[in-house]
Amino acid sequence: MNLDGKTILITGATGSFGTAFMRTVLERYDVASIRAFSRDELKQSELHSKIPDDRIRLLLGDVRDLDRLRVATRGVDVVVHAAALKQVPACEYNPFEAIQTNVLGAQNVVSASIDNDVPLTIALSTDKAVNPANLYGATKLCAEKIVAQAGAYASGTAARFASVRYGNVVGSRGSVIPIFRQQAETGLITITDERMTRFWITLEEAVEFVLSSMSLVTGGETFVPKIPSMRITDIAEALAPDAERRIVGIRPGEKLHEVLLTEDESRHSRDIGDRYVITAHRVGLRPAPEDDRGEPLPDGFRYASDTNEQWLSAEDVRRMAAALPPARRAGDRRDRVGDD
């Protein structure tokens, strides 16, 4: 999708994804403006210092505030919804807050886009939304459903909606790779369970996936990239081969393996080359039009991190770790897909 001359709004703009997304778009396209929507004035000030581009408009606001979103989306061509409360323990301890931001916030973004006839709204989701084992995943599942069904509320408008769903972001704040590097210096690293596997995507790949999905949206889809898996033990071996390993056990809300596409979803999904598309599965009087892109998936197909055909090597992990900027070599070990 050509973004030249477009006005873009990104929620959660000061997070890892939002910052990387804006850098890429500003370098590649002659956009009219990017409205950076977030609630933290300090992070916005830091963003201005990092990306001093006069096409960026800093908008203070919270996705919980529908009136503010209605103002922010006036005249916008594309909304990228990346705002979320995403730390699993924090969401478990503060469930009302997680629901207000992740669920009601998604509803507010959809409502504001419909009210202002925004042509395209694309929301970021996560593999944690699939068969969720924690509140964070449950809220992102709700958000996906809201976005997928948004077309039912947008009849007679130009508004289209879709989600992208992917796994752990290697370059986001709080990645396990910086944690293992930091722990390696002490000679001791902690592993929750040696059987654990995860999907991996770099921050740059996540940005490219969102951008490339924009031109594919017809309405209500969820796009899933074909990305590699990694064993937690291989990460430890790559980054701290001589360190002692301490098994601390799986924490509440964690899974051994993650799933990006379930057997039930695969019945209305298509393989379109470098990604899968979960087609609109609308509930209402008129069914969604048949999607004939790509190929249908085999019966019972399941896209999971432990049965994936693509795997990262130890050398891949070392290369990713070496590419991380120093600012990302701290934090807790939670990779997520947005920022509030």
Assign residue 219 the CATH number of its domain.
3.40.50.720
Structural domain contains residue 326: no
Global model pTM greater than 0.75: yes
- Is 329's pLDDT higher than 90? no
Structural domain contains residue 320: no
Q: What is the pLDDT of residues 229-286, one digit of tens each?
A: 999 999 898 888 889 999 999 888 889 999 999 999 999 999 999 999 999 766 554 5
Structural domain contains residue 237: no
- Rounded Cα distance, 210 and 222, in Å: 11
- Rounded Cα distance, 115 and 242, in Å: 58
- Rounded Cα distance, 40 and 176, in Å: 25
- Rounded Cα distance, 115 and 103, in Å: 19
Amino acid at 252: P
Is position 128 annotated as part of the catalytic site? yes
For residue 254, which of 322, 312, 191 has the smallest C-alpha distance? 191
Structural domain contains residue 134: yes
- Is 92's pLDDT higher than 50? yes
Tokens of 25: 């778009």
Average pLDDT over residues 308-318: 90
- For residue 275, the enclosing domain spans 7-168+200-227+262-304
CB atoms within 10 A of CB 223: 23
Structural domain contains residue 2: no
Tally of structural domains, the chain? 1
Q: What is the pLDDT of residues 124-162, one digit of tens each?
A: 999 999 999 999 999 999 999 999 999 999 988 999 999
- Rounded Cα distance, 281 and 288, in Å: 7
Higher pLDDT, 109 or 285: 109
| HSE toward the beta carbon, residue 81, CA cutoff 13 A | 38
Structural domain contains residue 252: no
Structural domain contains residue 29: yes
Catalytic residue among 43, 128, 140, 255: 128
